[in-house]
Structure 1
Amino acid sequence: MATPDPAGGLLQADLAHWRSRTDATLAAAFDALEGRTEPRLLAAMRHAVLLGGKRMRPLLTYAAGLACGADITRLDAPAAAVELVHAYSLVHDDLPAMDDDALRRGQPTVHVAFDEATAILAGDALQSLAFALLADAPVPDAARVSMLAELAGAAGAAGMCGGQAFDLAATGSAIPLDALERLHALKTGALLRSAVRLGAIAAGADAAARDRLDGFAQALGLAFQIRDDLLDIEGDSATLGKTAGKDVAQDKATFPALLGVEASRARLRELAARMSEALAGFPGDTAALAELGRRSIERAH
């Protein structure tokens, strides 16, 4: 794994620039809907997307694409698209029928700030907008079709939605470790892996490069979820920007519940080593990917 810039410097400037590009692409997409949709719906969509967030998934798209030599203008659409799918999933996850949460990114959830019906429609519209952006991405036709198929697969029944269904089915019951890892490889990991894959596809990376990056992304996706599980029991709502302790209160299947806290931390260290191994010797600049991998393990929210 390439060594991150410990003092910030150019690497931190790059991450800030990519975050700014993502926010600009998202804001422009919403601005283009002015006068073409119901104002309350558009306000709810903006509330769901533009009020903060780590932007981990778009940052992964930029980092992977640029490591593979992509022109940055090819990465704006897929970076924004994967964030829109992530945002739609959060809007729906927070609904009373799902996790029933009132706080997201330090703000009232969409169904609290607006109403439940508007939240459902906003989530639907954000998902559709993601694919509209990809359909207009400035890449060759074959890459565009490949990106559309990639994001659709990651978001659907064999990806994120399937993982959420497994999570609901597992609530209140004990499941083995392999089942828990499969659950989270779909619920959380599928979209994180897709973010990396979208960047590689936009860059026109070959199969060998994609496989190397996929190994990194698989380890990162699992590490991200284990850290989430730990933060739910160790963090506080003000820092997390969402309600702490929800997993325990709802008797969710989590890594600390199954393995214990110390074993979960040990698993994080194993996954960090796997990420390093996946990036070792990669021909492109993987410093940003390495930094994002580190953040997935060490983040406080």
Structure 2
Amino acid sequence: MIYLVISLISTGVLLGCLAGPALDRVGRPAAHPGIAIACWVAALAGTFIAVLGVVVVALLAPPAPGHGLLEWLRNCLPHHRDGAIIMAAAASLALLTACGSRLARGLPRLRRAVRRRRRHREMLRLVATEHERHADVLVLDHPVPVAYSLPSRRHAIVVSTGTQDVLSAEEFDAVLVHERAHLRQRHHTLLLTLDAAHALLPWPPTVRRAKRSLPLLLEMAADDAAARECGRGTLVDALRRFAATPGVAGALGAAGPSTEALAERVRRLEAAEVGGPRRAGRAVASVFVTLAVAAPLAVATATIAELSHIC
């Protein structure tokens, strides 16, 4: 039993403290952001599985109050000293309080983000007009070139009249392909989940670094989709016209999370061919993703199952 607990804690430490820095140290796989996104998501999922497993084990391990529930009250309690029971109960209460405080902070933050998106969509219905040629595009009457997307059943992409004025027809199509890639690949949902994960568990380096790295990688993945369909040169020309465009909270825009990130995306597109990942890279990423999720899940399951035989 003790070895399973040590393995579970070690798995959480490896994924929560070492996986993120290792992924950053390897560097952003600029030609294949999809591989990096999959690895980051797997590292985050494995970290949360391991942490949840440690919490469950801490609450269920004897003589903690969660062990055996009613049967524990009848059979297990007399086998432990009063001091041990009091200490376990106090530790369980502290752990539940800590988890509750994180949930109390993270869930309202998630609700606020969803509410902001809803209000944003409602505002757009009042001030924006439908695009003549694209049924999923709304047009804002504003001279600053802006293009971004919001998850919505209809009219999920927003552009300004300034965008239509400064972009050629080919560049405008490349921007729309970029935004549609965000929507098709569920990038908004991933960012919302990442924000909630950071609110719940902000301390592990993997979570902190994912919060910083994933938004840019998502933009690169959308860039790849647009470059494959419309050409790298066309997309680069379009992106350069968004150099001074402000970001939109809760949305994914062609300008990206920052001016520095936009410059990095442009350098990447100019420096390398955009193509699919190599077979070796796909294989290594598949192994990492599988182990990052399966290992903590298996260890946590075995540890919790072992608790049923211990009193």
Q: Which has the higher contact order (CA 8 A, sep 6+)?
A: 2
TM over 0.5: no
